[in-house]
Amino acid sequence: MDICSMSALEIGAAIREKKMTVREVTEGYLSAIENTDGAYHCYNTVCKEAALARADEVQKGIDEGRYTSPLAGVPVGVKDNICTKGVPTTCSSKILENFVPPYDATVVKRLYDAGMVVLGKLNMDEFAMGSTTETSATGVTHNPWNTDCVPGGSSGGAAAAVAAKLAPVTLGSDTGGSIRQPASFCGVSGLKPTYGAVSRYGLVAYASSLDQIGPLAHDAKDCAALFSVIEGKDEKDGTSMENPKFDFAAATNGGMQGKKIGIPADYLGEGISTDVKAAIEAAAETYRGLGAEVEIFPMPIVKYAIPAYYIIACAEACSNLSRYDGIKYGYSSPNTDNLLDTYIKSRSEGFGMEVKRRIMLGNFVLSSGYYDAYYNKALKAKKLIQQAFFDAFEKYDMLLGPVAPTTAPKIGESLSDPLKMYLGDIYTVMINIAGVPSMAIPCGFDRENMPIGMQLIGKPFCEAEILSAAVGFQNATDFHKKSPKES
Amino acid sequence: MEWEIVMGLEVHTELATKTKIFCGCSTEFGGEPNTHVCEICSGLPGTLPLLNQRVVEFAVRTGLATNCEITRKNKFDRKNYFYPDLPKAYQISQLYLPVCRNGWLEVTDKDGNPKKIGIHEIHMEEDAGKLIHDEFEACTLVDYNRCGVPLLEIVSEPDFRSADEVIQYLEKLRAVLQFTGVSDCKMQEGSLRADVNLSVRPKGQAEFGTRTEMKNLNSFRAIQRAIAYEAERQIELLEDGEKIVQETRRWDDNKGYSYAMRSKEDAQDYKYFPEPDLPPIEISEETIEKIRAEMPELPEQKKRRYTEELGLSAYDTSILTSDKAYVSLFEETLALCDSPKDVANWIMGEVMKLLNDTATLPENMPLAPKDLAAVIHMVKAGKINRGTGKNVLEKVFTEGVDPEKYVADNNLAQITDLSALRPVIEEVIAANEKSVSEYKSGKTQAMGYIMGQAMRALKGKAPAQEVQKLLHEILD
Amino acid sequence: MQIDKNLVMYLEKLGRIELSEEQRTASEKDLQDILTYIDTLNELNTDGVEPASHSFPVANVMRADCVTNSDRRDAVLQNAPREKDGCFVVPKTVE
């Protein structure tokens, strides 16, 4: 069987059963990357030598019984904003083009502890700011379903790598939809965990109160497996939380009998494409067929999510990105002779336009005289959004909705109108503001045969519940099994 | 016109924790540049702060000792500005919900009446790094060893009306910080820094004048001089019909003047907002009571105990408790020789004189309690007289000698065998016939001279009253 | 909220960036569009609502006061564009 068409859990099982070696698997992916990534540009950095050396080490560990995770020996790609010791971590920005972290992010350590093999670092929108991966300083990633289209963003490389079979599983990050939206555009599965469920230590911050690392994979079971590797309290991240141990069996059970699902009416209103809407309605039918109750309910606060999100995210971003100054690491403009010049030139030459725009927006909403009208107002809106979810979860076990109003746009269509690009985040940002988990899975194709995604939104720290619902859906459908080549 | 000076203080103190506020790096002073630095305090991308619990404990201690309300739910904020000594380009501080508020310390005003100086708030924050100007190249070197050392900023109300009140308050505050173990308060090393906000107004006017802020005040003397300079500068400007510019001024203690650092036009917008990386701090009643119970004795409590239990005078206790170094020396010495009055007198007399003569700060006390106890013990037992005791103490202080060994080696012990005195005294009488006959003819003051000669012959090692007794016995 | 060129330039200054004239003109329009949209938040009634802080009730996450780090100078300086005598280097700063 073609290694690259297997799921991560299948690969892990095959290695354990000695049907293949870790090196064979790793070599299989490395050669696929070498042969086809030229067409997609999923990877910023491929760790060929290190991955092969690691593969042999892991094989030994598995043989000696040191690595027992279901994902031991499985290769993984990592978004390029997650720090990897000794491997460049660029955030797809010129300002970090030569940055090599001297430490591993906690999630990377956990990948190693589970015996996984890191293949390389995946392309993204610069500093995770964007919805198309077009703001990357290393160039756009192409959507494997149609290379004229964007893969979504900001974890475009992470989603496209899975779709193009250049990694069985990947780690992305999601601040306002950055795992779910590219997963949706590329026809793969992706989980944005509860805020605090996964350590952020080593994730280069975009908006600290919203950022979460999560898995992308061919299906929900693989997401559950990778999530169980990375989740859990980390003493290095004060905002990570202690939770009941994640139950993999419960997360992959798939039973929907008697579950109550709510669809926010405002998720099916103005702006949604007819194909996407139809796919969501069909998904609702599928769930009814599985024994769940599905109903539409009003959630009028949806329309305030984007304003609140861009205020909070940009405010935090302008602070988080102030440390890039050409002095301690990263790009430093040559030929500057005074301090102010070093700051201004390094930052002006090092950051792309979208990053600059969000820095300016963040500075605006925090500047004296505007703080209350914007930032504080957004924090109050956050409170109301959290309350709206709390109320919804009194009635429903989970919520269902589209990930994005449309399928993947063509490359070059989005950047000219930033506001239009921001509006595309309408169904995803609210989840980050509330901090709740959300699982994106494929649920259909539009008339151009581009994938459509839906999301299942869960109660805080109830990842198992929405993963199980995703597994139930995938047991009943085969959208997740389609791949670009066969389409 | 009569002018009134109005001042408020912002005091920064470095805490005596083992580690920095948000990472496990040592706070040890000195060391090669950037050797007490890690991924977190140097602001590497992806790193996160984690609060040192000792910092909260120290903040609460300080708040309790300065009569503050403790904020039950407090949190951190980011203060954003670009400067090379601040690697994240923001300082983690507390703006919206500081850990302590509404406290006070008492001073004495110019009329001798007690006066409360209000403490507006105390907040926790991190220190910045150090910039070193390169001697050979037109560049500046950046050292982050101090970066992330925990600080408390103690902000007073604008309640001061004289430099004297400022100094009294600072002395009290320093004593509180030292006695609670919160800080060593070494001004030279920058672990206690005070910025003075100062304005003037015609006496009787209710509104405040425009204020300036003075920085770089490295000693109490510098503070006093800077206040005098700035008050005079402002009064002169106003009397000339000019306006005060709200600005930050830097004091140059060598040149004895201050100059503007940046004016209001250039005012920074710090864009404060809640720090998302640190969860809030909740301080329960239970925690506060626990910290209160474990709090070391404060100067006021010590004063009371010294007068009530040890029978010392109010004057003595206030001097002894003015510095933690005196208290430590006093209490530890007292534990070795049970004589409070003697120990207090030796410290307030000889020890303070030696500190003064050698320009030694009390915190660098070279004298061990056991050595002071030994000297006191020898004097009290009559082994040496008080004069010898002072000389021995000086040797201990300056050369670190062992007092008992020094006395033995130099044969300084008093002659305790009285029969040994008589031959020496008889010799002295024989050698001073003139004075003896004067004395005998009624010039009683001649006895003083004979006595001096006798003590000299005995090398000061005999008890004076015994010598006198013998002289009278022989001559009268 | 009305955006003008001066405000854009002020925001550049606050963020220590500098736009070209062309970018500045474009930014004026983009920021205007975005802020006009953001201003719809004013329609949301937030009277009496406490600003949210962290998403979930977590407090007092602290570490013990124990030294855990040894000398990490080489690691911390390894990415520095310029280094001298174990320090980062900046153009001369004048007080």
The CATH number given to whatever domain includes residue C32 is 1.10.20
The pLDDT tens digits of the residues spanning A410-424 come to 999 998 899 999 999
pLDDT at B125 over 90: yes
| CB-CB contact of A425 with A271 (8 Å) | no
Q: What is the pLDDT of residue A34?
A: 97
pLDDT at B220 over 60: yes
3-state secondary structure A193-224: CCCCCECCCCECCCCCCCCEEEEEECCHHHHH
Mutation to test the C interface, candidates A83, A325, A364, most C Cβ within 10 Å: A364
**Distances, alpha carbon B307 to alpha carbons A115, B301, B405, in Å:** 70, 10, 35
Query: What are B45-67's pLDDT values in tens digits?
Result: 999 999 999 999 999 999 999 99
Does the pLDDT at position B264 exceed 70? no
What ipTM does the predicted assembly reach? Answer: 0.96
The closest CB to that of B19, out of C59, C60, C66, belongs to C66
Domains of chain B: 3-286 (no CATH), 297-409 (no CATH), 418-475 (1.10.10.410)
The phi-psi region of residue C50 (left if phi > 0; otherwise alpha if psi is between -120 and 50; otherwise beta) is beta
The answer to whether position A307 is within a domain reads no
**Per-residue CA distances from B29 to B15, B17, B144 (Å):** 12, 12, 12
As to burial, measured by CB atoms within 10 angstroms (0-12 exposed, 13-18 middle, 19+ buried), residue B324 is buried
Q: State how beta strands B90-93 and B139-143 pair.
A: unpaired
Tell me the pLDDT band of B382, cut-offs 50, 70 and 90: confident
Task: Find the mean pLDDT for residues B110-125.
Answer: 96
Distance from CA of A184 to the nearest CA of B (A): 27
Q: What is the number of domains present in chain C?
A: 1
B431 contact partners, CB below 8 Å, separation of at least 6: B453
C59 touching A, CB under 8 A? no
Q: Is residue A378 part of a domain?
A: no
Residue-range definition of the domain harbouring residue A98:
3-259+397-486
Q: Which of residues 23-42 of C touch A (CB under 8 A)?
A: 23, 27, 30-31, 33-35, 37-42
In a domain, A284, yes or no: no
**pLDDT greater than 50 at residue A486:** no
Which tokens is B337 given?
């020789």
This prediction's pTM: 0.90
- The verdict on residue A343 lying in a domain is no
Would you give per-residue pLDDT tens digits along chain C (95 residues)?
899 999 999 999 999 999 999 999 999 999 999 999 999 999 999 999 999 988 788 899 999 999 998 889 999 999 999 999 999 999 988 64
Q: Which residue has the tokens 């309408």?
A: A426
Cα distance between the two ends of chain A: 19
Measuring CA to CA, which residue among B352, B359, B368 is closest to residue B401?
A: B368
C34 part of a folded domain: yes
Q: Which region among A82-91, A221-230, A264-273, B410-419 has the lowest average model confidence (pLDDT)? A: B410-419
- The answer to whether position A315 is within a domain reads no
B469 versus A218: which is more confidently predicted?
Answer: A218
> What single DSSP character describes residue A143?
B
Residue A178 catalytic?
yes
pLDDT of residue B117 exceeding 50: yes
In a domain, C50, yes or no: no
Is residue A267 a part of any domain in this protein?
Answer: no
Residue pLDDT, tens place only, B273-312? 999 999 999 999 999 999 999 998 888 889 899 999 999 9
Interface of B with A (CB under 8 A): 39, 42-51, 78, 80, 82, 84, 87-90, 142, 269, 271-273, 276-279
- Domain of residue C22 covers 5-43
CA–CA separation, C25 vs C4, rounded Å? 9
- Chain B residues in contact with C62 by the CB 8 A cut-off are 50-53, 56, 281
The proportion of chain B whose per-residue pLDDT surpasses 90, expressed as a percent, equals 66
Chains that touch B (3 or more CB pairs under 8 A): A, C
CA-CA distance, A292 to A287, in Å (whole number)? 5
Cβ of A381 within 8 Å of Cβ of C44? The answer is: yes
Residue C83 falls inside a structural domain: no
Cβ pairs B/C, distance under 8 A: 124
Locate the chain C residue with the closest alpha carbon to B73: C59
Is there a domain that residue A392 lies in? Answer: no
B445 pLDDT exceeds 90? no
Going B63 to B66 to B67 to B68, the CA torsion angle's sign is negative
Where does A41-147 have alpha helices with state H? 48-63, 106-113
Tokens representing B194 are: 């005070």
Angle between helix A48-63 and A22-40 (nearest 10): 150
Pairwise CB contact (< 8 Å): B80 & A322: yes
Q: How many CB atoms lie within 10 A of CB B393?
A: 24
C28 belongs to a structural domain: yes
Q: Is C49–A383 a contact, with Cβ atoms under 8 angstroms apart?
A: yes
Please state the rounded mean pLDDT for residues B24-43. Answer: 95
Whether A321 has a pLDDT exceeding 80, the answer reads yes
The verdict on residue C17 lying in a domain is: yes
Q: Report residue A146: phi and psi, to 5°.
A: -165, 105
Residue B262 binned pLDDT confidence (cut-offs 50, 70, 90):
low
Q: Mean pLDDT for chain A?
A: 96
Chosen from B39, B44, B75 to mutate, greatest number of chain A CBs within 10 A: B44
In eight-state DSSP terms, residue C55 is S
User: What tokens does A37 get?
Assistant: 């990534």
Bridge partner list, B363? none
Q: What's the pLDDT tens digit per position in A444-463?
A: 999 999 999 999 999 999 99
Q: How far apart are CA A383 and CA A366, in angstroms?
A: 19
Instruction: Count the Cβ atoms, other than its own, within 10 Å of residue A224.
Output: 29
- pLDDT, residue A1, reads 61
Specify the number of domains making up chain A: 1
Kindly give, in sequence order, each residue whose CB lies less than 8 Å from that of residue A395, ignoring residues fewer than 6 positions away. Answer: A260, A262, A297
Select the residue of B42, B78, B278 nearest A328 (Cβ to Cβ).
B42
- Residue C61 is given by DSSP the state -
Residue A159 has pLDDT above 90, yes or no: yes
Quote the CA–CA distance of C34 and C3 in Å, as a whole number: 10
* Structure tokens, B14: 């470095």
Mean pLDDT across B460-471: 80
Most confidently predicted of B184-193, B254-263, C45-54: C45-54
A120 in helix, strand or coil? strand
Average pLDDT along chain B: 91
Which residue carries 């009559």 as its tokens?
B382
Residue of C nearest to B40 (CA): C76
Read off the pLDDT band of A487 (50, 70, 90). very low
* CA atoms of B264 and B148, how far apart (whole Å): 28
Contact A366 B43 (CB under 8 A): no
> Residue A477: is its pLDDT beyond 70?
yes
In a domain, C95, yes or no: no
A58 vs B137, higher pLDDT: A58
Please tell me the predicted confidence (pLDDT) of residue B265.
45
Q: Does residue B366 register a pLDDT over 60?
A: yes
Please judge whether C17 and A348 are an interchain contact, meaning their C-beta atoms are less than 8 angstroms apart.
yes
Rounded Cα distance between A212 and A235, Å, is: 16
Extract the runs of DSSP E, i.e. beta strands, from B137-191.
139-143, 150-156
Touching subunits for chain A (3+ Cβ pairs under 8 A): B, C
Average pLDDT over residues A67-92: 98
Digit-coded pLDDT (tens) for A23-42: 999 999 999 999 999 999 99
Residue A137: which CATH number?
3.90.1300.10
Residue C86 lies in a domain: no
Is residue C81 in a domain? no
Q: Which runs of E-coded beta strand occur in B158-246?
A: 192-202, 212-217
In angstroms, the separation between the Cα of residue C57 and the nearest Cα of chain B is 9
Asked if residues A134 and A140 have their Cβ atoms less than 8 Å apart, the reply is yes
β-strands A117-122, A75-79 pairing:
parallel
A485 has pLDDT over 80 = no
CB atoms within 10 A of CB A156: 38
> Of these residues, A79, A165, A192, A221, which one is catalytic?
A79
